[in-house]
Structure 1
Amino acid sequence: MSWASWTTPGIFAGRNGVQTGEAGPVLTGELDVHTTWIEADGLAHVTVQYSGASDWLPLAGSPVPCPSETASRALHDAVIHSIRTGAALPLDDADAPPPRPHPGPAAAKEPRAN
């Protein structure tokens, strides 16, 4: 049986914090995020805790169907991005790609066709 896990410490939740469990508390401030993917059940389990705490709480919407280790790593990264940008339910937004950075004024101009 194959499995993989990732932990990202020190994520600052956006203004809405993140919802835990079905009706669990909303966590705000500095958080740690942990994702475990288990091949046998095809699920990614995403948990969150206050940085330095000992109790991990499931993120609302976890576990999530996830077909591969690569997909679970991408899910973990998407959850981190969603939490930082203020998604209270980051697993709802995890399928959406992260927004692309604004190109700035110089890159926004396209050359004219002659």
Structure 2
Amino acid sequence: MVWASWTTTGVFAGPGGAHTKEAGIVSGDLTVHTTWDGRQADVTVQYSGTSQWFTLSGSPVPCASERDSRQLHQGVVEAVRAGGATVPGSGQP
């Protein structure tokens, strides 16, 4: 099975935070994690230093390659820093 994952810690959420399925909007110092299973990417966030993960709105998203999933992860990190984040390209508001 093909898979890859990336984690970026210390991502401070901009105005509007990150939109999650389970907790609504989360803000502050976050950790962003992306897992790619060869077909799709799952993106989650957590308050840095805690153990509970929240699914970012728009996740999972189809993702054809490991390279694309890495670029998606970086796009999510940038979106969280900008605020009002969902998974880029997912069609979620």
Q: Which runs of 5 or more structure 2 residues have no equivalent in the other structure?
A: none
Matches within 5 A, 1:59-70: 59-70=56-67
2:43 maps to 46
Runs of 5+ consecutive residues of structure 1 not aligned to the other structure: 96-114
In 2, the alpha carbon distance for the partners of 1:76 and 1:11 equals 12
Alignment: residue pair count: 89
Which amino acid is the alignment partner of residue 90 of structure 1? Answer: T
Structure 1 runs (4+) deviating above 3 angstroms are: none
Question: Which structure is higher in RCO with an 8 Å CA cutoff and minimum separation 6?
Answer: 2
Q: Which residue of 2 aligns with 1:89?
A: 85
Residue identity in the other structure for 1:70: R
- Structure 1 vs Structure 2: percent identity of aligned residues? 52
More strand by share: 2
Q: Deviations over 1:50-87 (max 9, x none)?
A: 0001011110110010001000000000000111111x
Counterpart of 1:36 in structure 2 is 35
Q: TM-score, normalised by structure 1?
A: 0.74
What is the CA RMSD across the aligned residues, in angstroms? 1.1
